[in-house]
Amino acid sequence: MRIAADFLAEEGFETRADGFAESLREHGSEWTATALEIGDEKRSHRSWWRGLLTDELPFPMPHALQHVLPPTLVVASARPVAAGVAELVVFPHTSARGDATHARAAAPRVAAALEQITAAAGAEGAMLSHESLRGIANDGSPASQAVVRDVLGWR
């Protein structure tokens, strides 16, 4: 868990100070989790002139003019499933707040963190398998849409 949170932080995600992990422990959950966030709701909306420049210039924009990421929440959670075996779930949740045309703009940062997590696990002799999910049902996982919506207030 700590390694996953560290690699996500290296990609610009900030840990939320919302007591999420403590709340899970208090409720006796088998999961441990942390929630990290990136993006800015107001600054992510493109103005017409910035959109025109971004779409029409044949070269990359200076960082000062590049698009600001819309709000994205990533929940990294883990639980033991057998002796010496753990399940790690890293799942991003985009927000309805912010620029919808760039809703998945944080995906490359999540992918880079996942690559680093996989490399670190391999260096430790651990094996990770990957499964791509469109969503997580409300099965008690802290990364499920219901928990993210109802407990963390993420919209």
pTM over 0.85: no
Would you call 8 exposed, middle or buried from its count of C-beta atoms within 10 A (0-12, 13-18, 19+)?
buried
Distance, CA of 44 to CA of 63 (rounded, Å): 14
Does residue 86 carry a pLDDT above 80? yes
3 with 120: CB under 8 angstroms?
yes
Beta strands in 8-155 (DSSP E): 14-15, 32-38, 72-82, 85-94
Task: Tell whether the torsion through CA atoms of 122, 106, 32 and 22 is positive or negative.
Answer: positive
| Mean pLDDT score across all residues of the chain | 82
Q: Note the helical H segments in 12-127.
A: 20-26, 41-44, 48-56, 107-123
* pLDDT for the residue 69: 80
Per-residue pLDDT tens over the stretch 32-73: 999 999 987 665 555 555 555 555 666 655 545 555 688 899
Per-residue pLDDT tens over the stretch 102-132: 667 788 999 999 999 999 988 877 777 788 8
> Three-state SS for 19?
coil
18-29 burial code (b ≥16 CB/10 A, e <16): eebbeebeeeeb
